[in-house]
Amino acid sequence: MEAIQGGGWIAVLFLGFVSVAISDQMPGTSLDSMSANSAPRITRQPPAESEFRDGQSKTLLCAAEADRQITYRWMKDGRQLAIDPSGKFSIREGEGSLVISSPGGQDEGVYQCFARTDFGTALSTKTTLKAAVLDSFPTVVRPIVHRPTVGQPLNISCDPPRSYPKGRIYWGLSTHSTESSRLEGIDNDDRVLLDHNGRLYFANVLMKDSLLDIGPNLYYACIVKNALLGKFVKGNEQKVNPTNVSEANIRRHAPKLMWSSPVLDKAIRGENKRLKCIFSGLPTPRVSWRRIGGSSELSGRASPTPESHNTEIEIRGVDYTDDGQYECTGANSEGVSSRTLTLAVESMPYWRQNKIPSDVEAVEDDPVEIECLADGSPRPVIDWFIDGIPIQNATRNHRRRVDGTRITYDGVTNSSDRHVFQCSATNVHGQIIANIALNILASSPSFLLTPSDTKVVEGHRAMLPCRSTGAPKPKVTWRDPVTGNGLQRNRFSTGSDGSLEIRNADFADSGLYECFIENKFGSNSVRARLLVRKPTLINNSPRDLVVNVTDDVTLQCDVTTDPEEASGLRVTWTKNGKRIESAFDRRLSINPSDFSLNIRSAGVDDTGVYACHADNGLDNATSAVGRLTVRGPPRPPTGVHVTCETHGATVRWRPAPNDDDDNNNTNRVNEYIVYCNRTDDDPSGHVIECTRVTAPVRIQDVPPEFAAYVTLHPWGSYSFSVVAVNSMGQSSPGQASDGVCTTPPAIPSRNPGGVCSKLLGPRQLVIVWEVVPREERNGAGFHYRVGYRTRRDPPSTDFEVKAIRDPHQTELVIHDQETFQPFEIYVQSANEVGVTPLGHSDKRIGYSGEGKPTVVPSNVNFNEDSLNSTSVEITWTSVDTSLEKMNGFFKGYRIEFWRVNQPDEKRHEDIILNRHFDSCPPLSGKGRSTPVRKKRKRRHFASHRMSGSTDRLWPNSRIRAGVMVLNQANYGRLSDVIEFQTPEGVPDAVSRLEVTESGSNHLVVEWSSPLEENGVISDYVLTYAIAPPYVGSSSQRILPPVERRFKILDLLPDSTYAVSLAAETGAGRGQLSETHGRTLPQTAPSRPLVGDIDVGDDSANISWIPGGKDKPGNPGSRFYVEYRQLVDKGDDGKWNQTERVTDENWTIVADLKPGQSYEFRIVAVNGQDDREQESRSDIFTVYVPMEGERKTKPPPKDEMLIVKRGDSVVWWFVVLMSTIVLLVIVLFVVCLVYRSRGQMYPVYEKERLWGSPHKDEDQPFGEYARESPPLRPNADHLRKSGGSLESDEKPLDSSADDSSNDDGDSIGDYDDADPAKFNEDGSFIGAYNRNNRGSGSTAAASASGDRRAFKKHRRRRGPEEDDSPSPPTRANTYV
């Protein structure tokens, strides 16, 4: 028992420690569940006044909110209402609104809503409830009749009955004295007006006021309308019968006040107030208003009401500033009258500075002050309530004092001082009330805002926030978390909210900080780390630059930042304060290395102020600005206008503003160009330059206006524009705003130029000329008059003239003329006005068409010293170049040359010696004029020897060449021909270079021979390197001339390589061809697919398809075959490996045992050394037949070739292979039938099978044979197999016993050519061989002797020594 009791004490102590720990671990825990939200808050309350209609339900609004249940009650006239949901008074569910069913007069009174929770009670404002009413006017039997004198004033009284709400008073016209009579409202004007009490005033009475001109039985009636009740009442009818005085004799009188608002009037602040004055007088007075004192102008809130005709003003939203005197003045031609009104502004209570007293939260034992500050006019009375009870009636509290507008506590307690206080401010104009909850707090400290790990820039201010809450308010201490000591540094300070401020942060300030808070109920702490970084700096800002349009510009921005923040560094540029988005303008780019801004081909719009801004997310820096000025063409002139004259126009314009200001973006204007736009024949116009005007040098000399006179062509309509020109170019045109200038017609301005004869075919004269422009035709009906006659001395005939009506025609052909004869020719311009006279140079000498030269160059030879692969110098003896020998105008010589073996492809080189001559000299005098020949510039002469060169020869070719004479249209006979041989030249670029295969570590390139080899290709030079922008060393490989494919190994993965190739001859290296290829990312290669299998006596030729199913996939760089013998089913022996293959997709597995089955799998490899990655194909089984089985029987079915994919047989592959075999057999039978019927010559057949290779198109199945090895075996094979090139053709069905003599066209010839004769797509040739070897067919048996001998020889030599060419996938590799 004592032990138990001892254990109990231990448990009690443990629970005590746990409770302390929990209180320490749960900061911010309130020691009292009550909060300020527990106090009710009034959210909806009724207005100060309300009304109801008899018999209709009425609702007085009241609603409150709190975090707990609220109960409502209502007081009427200070007494609590009995609430009964089924009775007259009920409260709406979910809120506190009072519903009064069928209210009556006894329900009028003052109501107030009370909302209560267990925290306290809140009150609404009081509302006065009244019944809506509209009484009737007193009954009057007879209408009242008024008999004023015309022109005198009159007022008609209206004693309105009681109305609530206040009714609207107006006057109308009544036709009867009953309530149901028709009433029509009268329109007020500045003569007939109402005062605020409803009395009707006439400033002066007129005869029309009798209403007789409207109807015989009309009366005035006062009407009161109650909008709430929706009805109106009519007062007694009144009649105005003016004394019948002629209006012409009416006496005028000055204005006199008839009625005004009270002289001492009041307005309520915030409401609208109207002031009105009514004056009598004739003529009707005009009323004006002003304010007395200070500015006489009315405030912006005071304006006349629309219906008052300026007799009334309304002040909207009255304020204390509207307090003062206002004067209304009535004036007419007879005098003036005025009245001063004094307005006193009062107000209902309002909270001072619009601050509604709010809830108060206090800590236990702390002093508290509750203040209620309200203003109003008159000054409001402040009353205090506690939970709705007047404070003087509440329970007394010796710690509480009331002092007018405030309540103070010396110290509050949680138990007795929690209440809802009401502050009520009341004056004659109304009441306002505020509910103030006093909540007593007591809680342990907790964090409102905790510090987090913070980065700050060196030299900047660091702020670590630490806002806390608790009751009492916690004490905040910042300290070192390691030592627990407070921070005592001059640059450190703690703010009123607990935040730690570190001024001018230093790198030594980096570290861990702790914020510790505590009060009497507990403590808490939190830690944060401060990191101080180096500032971001811009070391090189953009400079001011002046550039020209299209220049490339670079603006510097050298930025440094803290290395830890470099990853977040972002640099942007601004132009004229706006961010530049380079993605929207391809001319703009930011250099990622130095953040400079590059502007390509700058334009005028690029002028501006530039700055760069660097931001790393922690701090930022902005550079100094640099001004970029791009000089460009000027702006167009302004104010262009024109004055038209008979044969010209005067154009005037003004320079563009600041055109010559060196501070703008343009250079100084040098000149102006005036353009004339002729629009009469083309709506789009024809623009020509009319004149130029030089601009003055200095800006001070620029005149306000320029002027230029331009001469205009006849018969035209012109508009004008002016362009400004500076050293950078021209401005856009400044268009004239005036109309169009039109000129009269005249004869054409000139005759056509360029009149001559064109030396075309013989026996025709072709006369040509230039078109006369539209602006020089000068009239309608324009045409050409072409004249010609034979040139004789003296002339024997007149000119024959032909009219050409097409103004655009420039040629006339006259047929049936003698060859190369002189003519006199001319062309005239004409229109409807007349013909342009011929000038002394308008007549020319022309010639008919040329014939062929009659002379031939002799002694043609070539200069051996000048001969190279493409050029040579040819020499010959010059000829007689007279017109008679030339049969035309001598032009020069032509060297013609061709290759001996291709005579149809000819080239020539023209040696032009007579470029400058006048074939159409002007006609002068009567004597014969001969063509003027300018001095010809010959190439060179030596004893009348001529020479010419060409650089267009074919290299490495036998060339023949000759020379002929040229005139302007024809060439003569070819001279004697010479012959010479050109040496080799460098080859052309290869015609095709492309990357055909890509892997992780290799590329395969293929190419075609150059189109022009220009000699004997000795080798190909292949160069490869990583493509720019990366820089690295390049590698080079020298390849034999027969190669067309190369596999580049050991490349980097996922990299772009530049590959170039050039062919070489004895003359040197040819032009480079270049391509690019990209290696794949470093991954394991795709699983290779098994290709054709060719089984020998003790070997197997295994082929594969790189890339697998998803070809091209990722083919491996290297391959090898793994194999093992199957001893027992299910036996997994050790795998053997072949040598690795890089340049072929096949390999030979030797030393296999006949009569045994083997498992094979193909391995693809990427990478090298210890980073190799491998992928393996499916396992497949191959049976090696014994020699007797090959001749007599097929292998057992269970040991035939099976390709496995996992553990299941790929039946579709077997079906496909069977179909291919069947098609090959059918094709083979067709070939046998064709050969037996065709009886082809056996020697040709031997050559085709064993002789020299033919072109691709001559080979059968060219698409396979193009890359397959030739069928010709090596000599050792022929000797061992007994074959002979001279053997006769043997039948295809030779028996196996004759195999020693089987060298004819047997299947064995095809079969023994090379066991690897197939291509990567599984062609039928390989399939055929595989089936024959596996099935032991008769054809295979007939060739077994040759095949065994060849295969044994191949096994002895090894695949690397075999002279037979590679299979189709071979790619010689040099690494």
**Residue 334 near residue 376 (C-beta atoms within 8 A):** no
Binned at pLDDT 50, 70 and 90, residue 1314 comes out as very low
CA distances 122 to 63, 76, 81, 268, 438, Å, are: 11, 16, 17, 28, 12
Round to whole Å and give the CA distance between 235 and 457: 87
Round to whole Å and give the CA distance between 1202 and 934: 92
Instruction: Determine if the peptide bond prior to 921 is cis (ω within 30°).
Output: no
Would the pLDDT of 1189 be above 60?
yes
| Residue whose structure tokens are 């420690």 | 17
What single string gives the DSSP state of each residue in 293-309?
SS--SPPTTEEE-GGGT
Instruction: Determine if the peptide bond prior to 165 is cis (ω within 30°).
Output: yes
Which pLDDT score is estimated for 302?
A: 87
Would the pLDDT of 463 be above 60?
yes
Which pLDDT score is estimated for 1057?
A: 94
Which pLDDT score is estimated for 1207?
A: 37
CA distances 1340 to 487, 1274, 1345, Å, are: 101, 21, 10
The strand pairing partners of 476, in sequence order, are 517
Which pLDDT score is estimated for 1304?
A: 40
Round to whole Å and give the CA distance between 802 and 765: 14
Per-residue pLDDT, averaged over 506-529, amounts to 91
SS3 952: coil
Calculate what percentage of the chain has a pLDDT beyond 70: 80
- Inter-axis angle of helices 1324-1335 and 1211-1238, nearest 10: 100
SS3 646: coil
Which pLDDT score is estimated for 1274?
A: 41
Binned at pLDDT 50, 70 and 90, residue 1333 comes out as very low
Binned at pLDDT 50, 70 and 90, residue 898 comes out as very high
Q: Which residues contact 330 (CB under 8 A, 6 or more apart)?
A: 255, 256, 257, 277, 279, 281, 285, 286, 287, 336, 337, 338
What single string gives the DSSP state of each residue in 191-215?
SEEE-TTS-EEESS--GGGG-TTT-
DSSP state of 1323: -
**Tokens (6 digits) for 1083:** 């991954």
Would the pLDDT of 204 be above 70?
yes
- Which has more pLDDT, 182 or 623? 623
Cα torsion 486, 488, 489, 491 to 10°: value is 70
CB neighbours of residue 582 within 10 Å: 15
**Residue 1220 near residue 1324 (C-beta atoms within 8 A):** yes
Which pLDDT score is estimated for 684?
A: 63
Which pLDDT score is estimated for 1182?
A: 93
CB neighbours of residue 973 within 10 Å: 13
Q: What is the pLDDT of residues 374-387, one digit of tens each?
A: 999 999 999 999 99
Q: What is the pLDDT of residues 645-655, one digit of tens each?
A: 888 899 999 88
Which pLDDT score is estimated for 924?
A: 60
Which pLDDT score is estimated for 1119?
A: 93
DSSP state of 1359: G
Q: What is the pLDDT of residues 295-353, one digit of tens each?
A: 767 877 888 888 888 999 999 999 999 999 999 999 999 999 999 999 999 999 999 98
Round to whole Å and give the CA distance between 965 and 977: 14
CA distances 208 to 135, 150, 240, 286, Å, are: 33, 10, 10, 21
CA nearest to 221, candidates 239, 195, 202: 239
**Residue 1317 near residue 1328 (C-beta atoms within 8 A):** no
Which pLDDT score is estimated for 855?
A: 94
Binned at pLDDT 50, 70 and 90, residue 1258 comes out as very low
CB neighbours of residue 534 within 10 Å: 16
Burial status of residue 317 (CB atoms within 10 A of its CB: 0-12, 13-18, 19 or more): exposed
Would the pLDDT of 1072 be above 50?
yes
Binned at pLDDT 50, 70 and 90, residue 247 comes out as low
Best-predicted range by mean pLDDT (677-681, 1146-1150, 1190-1194): 1146-1150
The strand pairing partners of 917, in sequence order, are 933
Per-residue pLDDT, averaged over 733-755, amounts to 88
What single string gives the DSSP state of each residue in 306-374?
GGGTTSEEEESS--GGG-EEEEEEEEETTEEEEEEEEEEEEEEEEEGGG-----EEEETT--EEEE--E
Which pLDDT score is estimated for 734?
A: 84
Binned at pLDDT 50, 70 and 90, residue 1209 comes out as very low
Per-residue pLDDT, averaged over 909-919, amounts to 85
Which pLDDT score is estimated for 1228?
A: 86
| Residue whose structure tokens are 């001072």 | 352
Binned at pLDDT 50, 70 and 90, residue 696 comes out as confident
Which pLDDT score is estimated for 1107?
A: 81
Which pLDDT score is estimated for 336?
A: 95
Binned at pLDDT 50, 70 and 90, residue 1007 comes out as very high
| Residue whose structure tokens are 């050394």 | 1169
Binned at pLDDT 50, 70 and 90, residue 486 comes out as confident
Would the pLDDT of 1200 be above 60?
no
What single string gives the DSSP state of each residue in 1099-1159?
-EEEEEETT-TTTTS---SEEEEEEEE-SSTT---PPEEPPPBSS-SEEEE--PPTTEEEE
Which pLDDT score is estimated for 801?
A: 93
**Tokens (6 digits) for 827:** 């062309």
**Residue 1277 near residue 1349 (C-beta atoms within 8 A):** yes
CA nearest to 1160, candidates 1141, 1133, 1185, 1142: 1133
Q: What is the pLDDT of residues 530-580, one digit of tens each?
A: 999 999 999 899 999 999 888 999 999 999 999 998 889 999 999 999 998
The strand pairing partners of 526, in sequence order, are 515
Which pLDDT score is estimated for 1133?
A: 76
Per-residue pLDDT, averaged over 960-977, amounts to 94
**Residue 633 near residue 731 (C-beta atoms within 8 A):** yes
Which pLDDT score is estimated for 1347?
A: 35
User: Phi/psi class of residue 550: alpha, beta or left (left: φ > 0; alpha: ψ in -120 to 50)?
Assistant: left
Q: Which residues contact 1258 (CB under 8 A, 6 or more apart)?
A: none
Binned at pLDDT 50, 70 and 90, residue 162 comes out as very high
SS3 774: helix
**Residue 637 near residue 731 (C-beta atoms within 8 A):** yes
Per-residue pLDDT, averaged over 1130-1140, amounts to 81
Compute CA 1075 distance to the chain's CA centroid, rounded to the nearest angstrom. 32
Q: What is the pLDDT of residues 335-351, one digit of tens each?
A: 999 999 999 999 999 99
Q: Which residues contact 1000 (CB under 8 A, 6 or more apart)?
A: 1053, 1054, 1079, 1080, 1081, 1082, 1083, 1085, 1114, 1117, 1166, 1167, 1173
Binned at pLDDT 50, 70 and 90, residue 1320 comes out as very low
- The answer to pTM > 0.75 is no
Least confident of 5-9, 113-117, 413-417, 914-918: 5-9
Q: What is the pLDDT of residues 1013-1038, one digit of tens each?
A: 999 999 999 999 998 877 678 899 99
Binned at pLDDT 50, 70 and 90, residue 1244 comes out as very low
CA nearest to 100, candidates 127, 122, 78: 127
E strand or H helix that includes residue 1216 = helix 1211-1238
Which pLDDT score is estimated for 462?
A: 92
**Tokens (6 digits) for 312:** 């009334």
Which pLDDT score is estimated for 1237?
A: 55
| Through-space distance between the first and last CA atoms of the chain, rounded to whole angstroms | 95
Round to whole Å and give the CA distance between 340 and 292: 9
Per-residue pLDDT, averaged over 22-26, amounts to 37
Q: Which regions of 584-668 does DSSP assign to beta strands (E)?
A: 588-590, 597-599, 608-615, 620-622, 626-631, 638-644, 648-654
Q: Show the 3-state SS of 529-572.
A: EEEEECCCEEEECCCCEEEECCCCEEECCEEECCHHHHHHCEEE
Binned at pLDDT 50, 70 and 90, residue 1131 comes out as low
Round to whole Å and give the CA distance between 1271 and 1314: 8
Dihedrals φ, ψ of 835, to 5°? -115, 140
Per-residue pLDDT, averaged over 616-632, amounts to 89
DSSP state of 252: P
What single string gives the DSSP state of each residue in 400-435?
EEEETTEEEESS--TTT--EEEEEEEEETTEEEEEE
**Residue 1329 near residue 1224 (C-beta atoms within 8 A):** no
Would the pLDDT of 1364 be above 70?
no
Least confident of 263-267, 396-400, 524-528: 396-400
CA nearest to 1094, candidates 1333, 1269, 1352, 1320: 1333
Would the pLDDT of 996 be above 60?
yes
Would the pLDDT of 793 be above 70?
no
- Which has more pLDDT, 334 or 521? 334
Q: What is the pLDDT of residues 255-276, one digit of tens each?
A: 999 999 999 999 999 999 999 9
Would the pLDDT of 987 be above 50?
yes
Would the pLDDT of 1369 be above 50?
no
Round to whole Å and give the CA distance between 129 and 60: 9
Which pLDDT score is estimated for 681?
A: 65
E strand or H helix that includes residue 1103 = strand 1100-1105
Which pLDDT score is estimated for 1343?
A: 33
E strand or H helix that includes residue 1238 = helix 1211-1238
Least confident of 700-709, 715-724, 810-819, 1058-1067: 700-709
Rounded to the nearest integer, the mean pLDDT of the chain is 81
Residue count of the chain, please give it. 1375
**Tokens (6 digits) for 234:** 């009519």
Would the pLDDT of 788 be above 50?
yes
Which pLDDT score is estimated for 1146?
A: 93
Would the pLDDT of 116 be above 90?
yes
**Tokens (6 digits) for 1073:** 């061809």
